[in-house]
Amino acid sequence: MARRITIDPITRLEGHGKIEIFLDDKGDVSKAYFQVPELRGFEKFSEGRMAEEMARITPKICGVCPTAHHMASGKALDDLYKVEPPPAAKKIRELINSAFMAEDHTLHFFFLGGPDFIVGPQAPAADRNILGVIQKVGLDAAKQVIGIRKKLRNVITKQGGRVIHPVCNLPGGVSKGVTKEDRQEYIQTGRDAVEFAKFTLKAFEDIVLKNKEYVDVIVGDIYKHETYYMGLVDKSNKVNFYDGDIRVVDPEGKEFVKFKAQEYLDHIEERVEPWSYIKFPYLKAVGWKGFVDGKDSGVYRVAPLARLNVSDGMATPLAQAEYEKMYDVLGGKPAHNTLAYHWARLIELLYAAERLLELAQDEEILDPDVRNIPTAIPDEGIGVVEAPRGTLYHHYKTDEKGIITEVNLIVATLNNSAAMCMSIERAAKALIKGGKVSDGLLNMVEMAFRAYDPCLACATHSLPGQMPLEVNIRNPEGDVTKTLRRE
Amino acid sequence: MKEPTIVGFLCNWCSYEGADRAGDARLEYPANIRTVRVMCSGRVEPEFVLHAFREGASGVLILGCHPGDCHYKMGNYKARRRISLLKKTLEQLGIEPERVRLDWVAAGEGERFAKVANEMADTIKGLGPLELS
Amino acid sequence: MAKPKVAFYWCASCGGCEEAVVDLAEDLLKVVDAVDIVLWPVALDFKRKDVEAMKDGAIAVSFINGAVRTEEQEEMVKLLRKKSGLVVAFGSCAHIGGIPGLANFWDRETIFERVYKDVPSVRNPEGIYPQQKTKVDGVELTLPEFYDTVYTLDQVINVDYYLPGCAPPPDLIMNAVTAILEGKLPDKGSVLAPDKSLCDTCPRKDSKPEKLSIKAIRRPHEVIADPEKCFLEEGIICLGPATRSGCGERCINANMPCRGCFGPTKGVRDQGAKMVSAIASILGVEDEDKVTEEEVESLVKQIDDPAGLFYMYSLPASMLRRKRMG
Ligand code: SF4
Ligand code: SF4
Ligand code: SF4
Ligand code: FES
């Protein structure tokens, strides 16, 4: 008797993400589908636009990570015009990006994914939200969260014009330098952010790491996938969000390949499935073997844990210490535990804060020379950055006037699309046996899903950190026989 | 088949008179041109042209005084730049630029009016009706 | 007295408008205190049937962001319209179509072809496209229909007020909420921002000469823009003349020209056409009587992608609404 379970994050009507689980004749899970019912078609409608406008158009792909698109676009435009931004411009971009990474990771940890841990994976759903977090860490801490996000977002507003959809990047640099007064403010923000990140890691340690039950969940089998990992690294293979080469490690942690942004097409391919508007990228050299783990499957993962897995460490001292500690506890590199994404995210928060401070303190950031005017005839450009949710590729071709003729985008969350399906399936398999659906299913599936912080699903933009879920269990005729609902 | 409609914006000081002249002289010009009197070709906002299209026109003809003769001195020069830029914009939106025509007809040029109007009618006939979604 | 019921809803949106609400920070708590939020899919659990069960008009005000481009979105906003006293189109996408409205240069078929077949990273030898219905393991999976055209909210339902911007700035959001709570709203159909052009409030307006004349058009990356000078004076196209004020001149402050996210002022029905007019009235004005037809053409030729630029945010709201295909 084949049954179908639908988990629809919002309603059947709306929906930027939907989960379908299929049961086999024995009532065990045969397959899980993570569907994305949304498409906007930036790859097409960017054609005909002036290339430099791409930095203003593409952020609208996602209002949660517009800064990452703005950066990837800026770099693709530099490459398009073969123009190198002046040193100060690069630093300003990285400063903005660091502030963004820090505020976005904060948002995720406290408002979205973190409640699973801070409040506890077994806690009643009604408490697993920001209010529950406040109870656990105290109101002062909650105020700190709001306060630091405001300061960090202010850095983006000042340099980028708007925090939601910044506008400062142009081929060859940025439109605006840093003033002395603003720099003082940024230094203070950097300091505050470092303190805040330390505080957050401490809270994570006290609440999560000191609790054996939580640690067991993290290292347990349900949330584990042996996949390839991908992320940007600097020259000494340290994590870098803004610049570097793309490094891929295999499930044993050995370097599989390291390539330049411009070579991405040699290494990544995407698969189309008729049941989702999202595409599924995989490593070309390994090939698509379906939604499965292991060395023979081209599925790879991106975002915080992946970035740490592909790197040899962090470029800043405090983050490096935390990096070492994490791998100690998890038993070495690479860590395959999906829930460790939360931990990795906090280590990145600390790195972003430290990096923000470093850049703000750098005298050169005050240099008014922030743009080089391009002189080359444009043709093709590729730009890559690390967005909070993974490696982000922008690829443009233009005519000789710099009018877009072709665009290709591989958006951060997309890289994880196959792995997300797998994680959901794994959790479902563990919890649905012989047709019996455990009430814990919602919890577990939700957690598997949220660890990736997928920004395409509205559910993860959720303010109280609660993904509304409904699971419909259907008999072969498609009638609903049982409904599980998270109130 | 019904002829596709053309809206003609005619300058009060010249082409409007020109059209009258054509009428008086019983010169033949197409019946599907709806004329709108404006004070100057420079008063024809690009919005008017779009409005005409939205309301079902398949072509828009704008007629003003010959260069140098504009009652307001520079109105027709402005019209020239506007319509040129508008046509470029329309073309990108899938509207054939020939559907908009700016030309000069003086008050005494009844024949010229008839000629321009007939040409425009032929052009639009050739292009067929403009169907907007 | 019962608190007014408020709904937030999103259609084809990027999530930025939701972030804008979160950016109210402490003010958000005040709002949450004063109203009863009955629907906010990103934040609260709700089901369509909960909304259906409400009496018509039971929701005092619905804030809807994002443009409309699927059947489901259309149904949902129609339902909300029925249940709400007021509907506010929130953000550029709902107001005038927004950046995703640039998709109106194409249609579903051309977009699918590019995204699922032609982009260089896709390997799709069988030419598979996402389907509204797919049979897998003998069961059907469904996806919502993707329309050919992106619609503004008021092309689908009646809209009472508009909050412009991509995304709307916090002060305007708070003003709107306060006005609603205090019942001090302007006429129906109003845009809840000053009815002035951006040029009127721009810090650079003083450098904009009364009679501006430019010969050379420059793209933003081709010059280092003087942070004191009007962009137009430097030949850089700025949508200020055709755009409503109220954003706090955000892009200008970052030394970048306006791209029109606030939509036009009240008297203007078509932002792009207004921009055609504005540029035409300053381009090549000097010695205009000596300029030949050919020279006019070549002046105009300098402007690349005028439709994409002048309608960057407002193509769905334009009088033409979309590109005529085929
Ligand atoms: S108006 Fe801007 S911020 Fe709001 S949904 Fe549209 S693109 Fe996103
Ligand atoms: S055109 Fe732009 S820069 Fe100039 S005054 Fe207007 S808004 Fe300001
Ligand atoms: S300057 Fe223009 S594009 Fe920028 S925020 Fe203001 S209205 Fe929008
Ligand atoms: S008065 Fe006839 S064109 Fe100006």
**B50 Cβ inside 6 Å of ligand 4:** no
Which of left, alpha, beta for C289 (phi over 0: left; psi -120 to 50: alpha)? Answer: alpha
Instruction: Report the alpha-carbon distance of residue A12 to residue C70 in Å, rounded.
Output: 13
CA C155 to ligand 1 center in whole angstroms:
18
Measured between beta carbons, the chain C residues lying within 8 angstroms of A487 are 45
- Comparing A102 with C14, the larger pLDDT belongs to A102
| pLDDT reported for residue A26 | 78
Measured between beta carbons, the chain C residues lying within 8 angstroms of B85 are 276, 279-280, 283, 300, 303, 306
Is-contact B57 B6, C-beta < 8 A? Answer: yes
How near does any CA of chain B get to the CA of C259, in Å? 16
Instruction: Report the alpha-carbon distance of residue A218 to residue A210 in Å, rounded.
Output: 13
Instruction: Report the alpha-carbon distance of residue A487 to residue A474 in Å, rounded.
Output: 20
Task: List beta partners, residue A19.
Answer: A7, A34
Beta-strand relationship, A268-271 and A280-283? antiparallel
Cβ contacts of A203-206, under 8 Å, gap ≥ 24: A203/A118, A203/A137, A203/A141, A204/A117, A204/A342, A204/A343, A204/A346
Residue B56 pLDDT exceeds 50? yes
| Closest chain B residue by Cα to residue C151 | B133
Is there a contact between B50 and C270 if contact means CB atoms under 8 Å apart?
yes
CA C148 to ligand 2 center in whole angstroms:
35
| pLDDT reported for residue A15 | 38
Q: Which two tokens stand for residue A57?
A: 């158009």
Measured between beta carbons, the chain B residues lying within 8 angstroms of C289 are 67-68, 74, 77
**Does residue B18 form part of some domain?**
yes
**Does residue B95 form part of some domain?**
yes
C199 SS3 class: helix
CA dihedral A418, A423, A428, A433 (to 10 degrees): 100
Structural domain span for residue B47: 6-127
Side by side, the strands of the sheet bearing C5-10 are C36-39, C5-10, C59-65, C84-90, C161-163
Beta-strand relationship, C84-90 and C68-70? unpaired
| Mean pLDDT over each residue of chain C, to the nearest integer | 90
Domain count, chain B: 1
| pLDDT reported for residue B30 | 86
**C260 Cβ inside 6 Å of ligand 3:** yes
- Comparing B48 with C211, the larger pLDDT belongs to B48
Which one, of A92, A93, A74, lies nearest residue C220 by Cα? A74
Average pLDDT score over residue span C106-123: 88
Which one, of A404, A448, A428, lies nearest residue A6 by Cα? A428
Sequence-distant (≥ 6) Cβ neighbours of residue B118 within 8 angstroms: B28, B29, B30
Quickly count: other Cβ atoms within 10 Å of residue C108's Cβ: 17
Which one, of A300, A341, A347, A299, lies nearest residue A323 by Cα? A347
Phi, psi at residue A86, to the nearest 5°? -60, 155
Q: What is the DSSP letter of A451?
A: T
Residue B125 to residues A327, B31, B97: CA-CA distances in angstroms? 76, 13, 14
**C264 Cβ inside 6 Å of ligand 1:** no
Mutate to test the pocket of ligand 2, among C196, C200, C201, C208 (most ligand atoms within 8 A of CB): C208
How near does any CA of chain C get to the CA of A48, in Å? 7
Quickly count: other Cβ atoms within 10 Å of residue A487's Cβ: 7
Average pLDDT score over residue span C26-50: 72
How near does any CA of chain C get to the CA of B120, in Å? 19
| Closest chain C residue by Cα to residue B51 | C319
A92 SS3 class: helix
Helix (H), strand (E) counts: chain A: 16, 18
Output helix, strand, coil percentages for chain B, rounded to the nearest 5: 45, 15, 35
Q: Which chains touch B (3 or more CB pairs under 8 A)?
A: C
Which of left, alpha, beta for C127 (phi over 0: left; psi -120 to 50: alpha)? Answer: left
Q: What is the pLDDT along chain A (487 residues), one digit of tens a residue?
A: 345 555 544 322 233 556 777 777 777 777 777 776 667 788 899 999 999 999 999 999 888 889 999 999 999 999 999 999 999 999 999 999 999 999 999 887 877 666 666 766 666 655 666 666 667 777 777 788 888 999 999 999 999 999 999 999 999 999 999 999 999 999 999 999 999 999 999 988 988 888 888 888 888 888 889 999 999 999 999 999 999 999 999 999 999 999 999 999 999 999 988 887 778 899 999 999 988 899 999 999 999 999 999 999 999 999 999 999 999 999 899 999 988 998 999 999 999 999 999 999 999 999 999 999 999 999 999 999 999 989 999 999 999 999 999 999 988 777 888 888 888 888 778 877 777 776 566 667 767 777 776 543 333 223 333 334 444 444 444 444 444 444 3
How near does any CA of chain B get to the CA of C43, in Å? 37
- Whichever domain contains B94, its CATH number is 3.40.50.960
Q: Considering only residues 11 to 50 of chain B, which have any Cβ-Cβ distance to chain C shorter than 8 Å?
A: 45-47, 49-50
Q: What is the pLDDT of residues C206-251, one digit of tens each?
A: 877 777 889 999 999 999 999 999 999 999 999 999 999 999 999 9
Which CATH number describes the domain made up of C5-99+148-182? 3.40.50.700
| pLDDT reported for residue A9 | 40
Residue C85 pLDDT exceeds 50? yes
Is there a contact between C291 and B86 if contact means CB atoms under 8 Å apart?
no
Instruction: Report the alpha-carbon distance of residue A175 to residue A318 in Å, rounded.
Output: 33
Instruction: Report the alpha-carbon distance of residue A432 to residue A434 in Å, rounded.
Output: 7
| pLDDT reported for residue A160 | 96
How near does any CA of chain B get to the CA of C276, in Å? 6
Q: Which two tokens stand for residue A127?
A: 């408490």
Please state which of the four CATH numbers 1.20.210.10, 1.10.645.10, 1.20.1440.230, 3.30.70.270 is assigned to the domain occupying A40-433+442-459: 1.10.645.10
Phi, psi at residue C117, to the nearest 5°? -125, -45
Residue from C320, C322, C323 whose CB has the most chain B CBs within 10 Å, to mutate = C320
* Residue C116 exposure: Cα atoms within 13 Å on the Cβ side: 22
Residue C19 pLDDT exceeds 70? yes
**C262 Cβ inside 6 Å of ligand 3:** yes
Q: Considering only residues 76 to 95 of chain B, which have any Cβ-Cβ distance to chain C shorter than 8 Å?
A: 77-78, 80-82, 84-86, 88-90, 92-95
| pLDDT reported for residue C217 | 96
Beta-strand relationship, C5-10 and C59-65? parallel
Q: Where are the alpha helices (DSSP H) in A311-370?
A: 317-330, 340-361
Instruction: Report the alpha-carbon distance of residue A412 to residue A390 in Å, rounded.
Output: 4
Q: What is the pLDDT of residues A239-249, one digit of tens each?
A: 999 999 999 99
| pLDDT reported for residue A100 | 96
Instruction: Report the alpha-carbon distance of residue A197 to residue A316 in Å, rounded.
Output: 13
Instruction: Report the alpha-carbon distance of residue C320 to residue B47 in Å, rounded.
Output: 11
pTM of the model: 0.93
Which residue spans of chain C are classified as CATH 3.40.50.700? 5-99+148-182
Instruction: Report the alpha-carbon distance of residue A270 to residue A279 in Å, rounded.
Output: 6
Measured between beta carbons, the chain A residues lying within 8 angstroms of C115 are 39, 41, 43-44, 279
Instruction: Name the residue type at position A307.
Output: R
Is-contact A387 A248, C-beta < 8 A? Answer: no
**Does residue B132 form part of some domain?**
no
Q: What is the pLDDT of residues B101-126, one digit of tens each?
A: 999 999 999 999 999 999 999 999 99
Instruction: Report the alpha-carbon distance of residue C323 to residue A225 in Å, rounded.
Output: 47
Is there a contact between C320 and B93 if contact means CB atoms under 8 Å apart?
yes
Sequence-distant (≥ 6) Cβ neighbours of residue A14 within 8 angstroms: A458, C9, C10, C41, C72, C73, C76
Across the B:C interface, residue pairs with CB atoms under 8 Å apart total: 101
CA C288 to ligand 4 center in whole angstroms:
15
**Ligand 2 atom index nearest CA of C199:** 6
Q: Which two tokens stand for residue A206?
A: 């006290």
Interhelix angle A139-160/A87-107, rounded to 10 degrees, is 150
Cβ contacts of A435-440, under 8 Å, gap ≥ 24: A435/A1, A435/A3, A435/A23, A435/A26, A435/A27, A436/A27, A437/A5, A437/A471, A437/A473, A437/A482, A437/A484, A439/A484
Task: List beta partners, residue C140.
Answer: C135
Average pLDDT score over residue span C263-278: 96
